[in-house]
Chain A
């Protein structure tokens, strides 16, 4: 088990390095940033000079090596449009995105799982049908639309929540909830079907016959059996959340990394994009690693030979 962990960690490093190379190549292929950096009144001499100063006239692999060497020192370059160290800018925005992702994750788990279980218990009832209906409906509405509508309802119409921005818990609720809806719905469905399945098992019936506390048994067995698929889903979700909060960040004016990167890409701000990708990629790889380790712990039958 220990050697497995080490192996995976080494793989993770290589993975991140590979991601960096690909991103570097992709970005440079989309056009060089000098044109955007300089104002519209610049002449072609200004452009040539700026290119030389920034080092864009060197061959690609030379540029990459320069970039990699400084990255090892933690220097990801200076943001082209901000004039400040890029990694610092990304790190500055990271807590906001993390807050949102974790919040959404928390909402999804805290609301999704119990609702799903409850629906399973009351299978076939009106409650169950409504639950299914709501979850299916939520997954059928585009995220940005849900976000815009919720602002109009809660901020403009009811006036109980702030319409944008980051601040206290009131600012946190709507964006985190909006970001969580898809995952919440999926989790609820997952829990429901897992529970139903477990409830049908023979040995549960036996235990029930023995008169043990029904709910407890169900919960325990259901959770144990569904651990693997749930953990997979959760891991994937967190990864998706971390990278996918862009739409929510834009609609709610949430100062996260997603917004920063989208703006940076259209301005060809390479240093920021590279810093953000490094951070995101590291996050994903870490999560994947943890999921795989959890996998191995939960089900020793799965061989990783």
Chain B
């Protein structure tokens, strides 16, 4: 595959035998993974996190909600004779490792669903807005401005106050603003793509708009969406932590990393494990998502360094 000055991607290249071949970006992607150690690290981290989330009930040593006050705030590797609490217990005597493992579910759910939601909406709006232009574009861009003019925290609090705090609300709230980023970037890409030769060519032979969008434009636009998504996955987790700190996060007893970190801060000196492990979990996961984002950016579309 070659990428020329105007950004047109041609699937053709000359291989080692001098033959004209077509390669997929994904083949190249996987190949580069072997070379780029940090990207490999990132992918591995995300894989571990996803596995934890999916297999939580199986790999969790204990029930994350089971509390026993007499064993509150016990340090890692403490044992009550019956079993070992590998990461200790929290202030209600719940096994901390289990809380952490189940926490992946929320963090990922929030991250992935928010990304999915924002990504799809943003993609759609960006596509339609950029391709059709005119009045449609005008309306959507004003909508974008409206969303951007809205103070985010206010939005979050008001929504949570009306609907009540819950995982769904949290995802909705975080999505409300971020789809705009996808929309803008996609729109920008579409704007430049639509003037390209191959699109003009397709129009001239009578392809319908839908066909053009899905066949020619969408594939070239997916890359930035994926890149943004991988970066924002990490950002979503950080935002969730911030909302938990302000008291707007997922309500108890559901464990979330942000919630664990925020609740634990008052135990900082007496029970270091209650803050250290959630903090590490957050940092490593976000690190992973950022590394993967970087790698994807390098591989899929080097022009998009600006993201």
Contact = CB atoms under 8 A, between A and B. Distances in A.
Interface of A: 11, 15-16, 18-19, 22-23, 26-27, 29-31, 136-137, 139-145, 148, 190, 193-194, 196-197, 226, 229, 233, 236, 239-240, 243-244, 246-247, 250, 258, 261-262, 265-266, 273, 276-277, 280-281, 284-285, 288
Given A244-B153, A288-B145, A262 B246 contact: yes
29 contacts: A11-B145, A22-B150, A29-B162, A30-B161, A136-B290, A137-B287, A139-B235, A139-B238, A140-B282, A140-B284, A140-B286, A141-B238, A141-B282, A142-B242, A142-B282, A143-B238, A144-B241, A145-B241, A193-B306, A194-B306, A197-B305, A244-B153, A247-B245, A262-B157, A265-B158, A277-B154, A280-B154, A281-B151, A284-B150
Interface of B: 142, 145-146, 148-154, 157-159, 161-162, 234-235, 238, 241-242, 245-246, 258, 261-262, 265, 279, 282-287, 290-291, 305-306
A277 B151 contact: yes
Given A15-B146, A142-B241, A243 B282 contact: no
B145 A15 contact: yes
B146 A280 contact: no
B142 A30 contact: no
Contacts of A18: 146
A18 B148 CA distance: 13
Given A194-B306, A247-B245, A140 B283 contact: yes
Given A141-B282, A144-B262, A284-B148, A11 B154 contact: no
Contact of B151 (A145, A194, A226, A243): A243
Q: Label chain A's interface by main secondary structure.
A: helix
Contact of A142 (B149, B153, B161, B258): B258
A229 B245 contact: no
Given A30-B158, A246-B153, A194 B148 contact: no
Contacts of A148: 265
A199 B245 CA distance: 43
Nearest to A258: B153
B290 A281 contact: no
Contacts of B258: 142
B142 A15 contact: yes
